[in-house]
Amino acid sequence: DDEAQQRQAAIERERRQREEEEEAERRRAEEEVERTREAQEEARRKAEEAEQQEAEERERLERARVEQAKLEAEEREAERKHKTQRRDPLQNANEQQDINVAESENEE
């Protein structure tokens, strides 16, 4: 009877030990799943952040291109006006000279 109780106690201890080991393994697996989920979430967050930064950089570059095109257009317009202003006095002088020649020819 005493031997049967000892065997029963040993069986019970082994059962409890197996249950504890299984519970510990289940907890480790749950923790691993949680760590994996957190790592995936962090990776997703970082990817979204990188995409946002890329979008902001593209917008910044586009604004810079637009600004540069605007400045180049203003520069071309300024050069055109400057050339026109330089040419007009010469053109006016030539026209005036033509008028003077024509008037002097008419007087003769």
Q: Is residue 3 part of a domain?
A: yes
What is the rounded CA–CA span in Å between residue 11 and residue 91? 118
Rounded Cα gap, residues 81 and 89, in angstroms: 13
CA distances from 23 to 18, 26, 35, 77 (A): 8, 5, 18, 80
In a domain, 101, yes or no: no
Which residue segment(s) compose the domain that 72 sits in? 1-81
Report if residue 87 sits inside a domain: no
> Would you say residue 41 lies in a domain?
yes
Residue 93 domain-assigned (yes or no): no
Q: Give domain status of residue 103, yes or no.
A: no
> How confident is residue 106, by pLDDT bands cut at 50, 70 and 90?
confident
Q: What whole-number distance in Å separates Cα of residue 73 and Cα of residue 65?
A: 12
Q: How many domains does the chain have?
A: 1
Say whether pLDDT at 99 is over 90.
Answer: no
User: Is 89 contained in some domain?
Assistant: no
What pTM value is reported for the model? Answer: 0.50
For residue 105, which amino acid is it?
E
